[in-house]
Amino acid sequence: MKKILLFLVMVGGIFTLAACGGLEEEETVQGVTEDSILVGNTAATSGGFADVGQPFNAAIQAYFDMVNEDGGVAGRTINFEHYDDEFDGSQGQTFTERLVEDDEVFALVGHFGTPTVGATLDYLTEKGIPQVYYATGISALFNQDAEGGERASFPVQPIYDAEGEVMVARAYAEENAEKIGVIYTNADDGKGMLNGIELRAEALGIELVTQQVASDATDMSSAAIAIESEGVDAVIVAANQVPAQVAIKALYNADSTANVYTSYVNAAASFIENLSAEIASGQFKVYASAWVSIFNEDGSLNDGYSLFAEQVPDYASNAYAMAGWIAAHFFVEGLKRVGEDELTWETYIDAMEESPVDNPMGGIVTYSDGLRVGTQSMALTEATVTDYDTDDEAYNWVDFRPIETIDSILE
């Protein structure tokens, strides 16, 4: 029986800092009392992305509840404040500033979504407030030598640029692709992946046929027809959940038979469910990257996943909930490292940089020496639909290729 590989998906009133910002000016302890720590995020828990934001935040809260029930960290319980930005960058910016300046949170945990992260990154860098886990992989998060307020950024998910390279390498290896079609959104996620796609395609001598689409487009038929007419060997859909579904449906309607490769942010059961007819038809296969495994090498469930499923039973198979759980875990790991010492932004950041942080569902992320590139180990999964047209339909991503380092995938 194939193992199911679930992964993920994808976020002030600081009066002690000088106007120019900078962590060295003076330490900040906002959001921290003797017995509590206040953190927060702004995420889409209504609207078109509610299927992502609701389980994501539910798992963050569940992790904090588990920690609090065990006495907290160094005697402090963790309180989680949230605002619903409906995946709108303008609202996200307003709510992020409210969290930092009015609510005075100690950190943002699970900073959510490309629009909000893109709109607030400069502001948060200037403030120097810790941001642990981004539910996006935009290029602006990639930093190999962070300094000053940049050190407060702790990405965990893969960055889109790196994933674009990986998708080309996978298509080249699996399809012997000499010509690849690319449908990408004119947004940070699509353009970030395109950067990596173009870089790796040039290195491998692959011809690209690219079509740009709007993120909110409801009809991508012209892009799909243009791709299909070029006789490509594979198609990469460089887009997040909703536009990626529109693109794949358009490829199906255009009678394309080239297998599709898409981002890890789309690898959830709900994504397959919305494409069940297209995937069940067998007209082409749909693959997605993966960066987290719930299994040990012997095929048994790993302890990290088992704990998650016990604490979040309603979302035990939900990739976005797993992402939220991991976000909370990374934040708490920094608190544990600070321990009984004085908790400030600077001591927290130093603690996160001191050694690699273990992902509870596999792999590690390193932040030493200003490294801020997220995880760089990825697998390949295949979308499957079983018992289609019955009352017992099942939607799963099954492992197709194992987790490997990016360097080894691209060799």
- The structural architecture, per CATH, of the domain 165-289+380-409 is 3-Layer(aba) Sandwich (3.40)
Q: Which helix (H) or strand (E) holds 220?
A: none
152 contacts 120 by C-beta, under 8 angstroms: no
Condensed to tens digits (0 to 9), the pLDDT of residues 264-309 reads 889 888 899 999 999 999 999 999 998 887 887 777 888 999 999 9
pLDDT of residue 26: 40
How many CA atoms, within 13 angstroms, populate the side-chain half-sphere of residue 401?
20
In terms of phi and psi (left: phi > 0; alpha: psi -120 to 50; beta: otherwise), the region of 218 is alpha
**150 DSSP assignment:** G
Closest by CA position to 32, among listed 397, 341, 313, 388? 341
Condensed to tens digits (0 to 9), the pLDDT of residues 111-168 reads 999 899 999 999 999 999 999 999 988 889 988 899 999 999 999 988 888 889 889 9
**Residues spanned by CATH 3.40.50.2300 within the chain?**
1-158+291-375, 165-289+380-409
Where does the pLDDT of residue 209 fall: very low under 50, low under 70, confident under 90, or very high at 90 and above? very high
pTM reported for the whole predicted model: 0.73
- Other CB atoms within a 10 A radius of the CB of residue 336 amount to 11
Mean pLDDT is lowest, of 51-60, 219-228, 285-294, for 285-294
Where does the pLDDT of residue 6 fall: very low under 50, low under 70, confident under 90, or very high at 90 and above? very low
Exposed, middle or buried by CB within 10 Å (0-12, 13-18, 19+), for 386?
Answer: exposed
**Fold held by 1-158+291-375:** Rossmann fold (3.40.50)
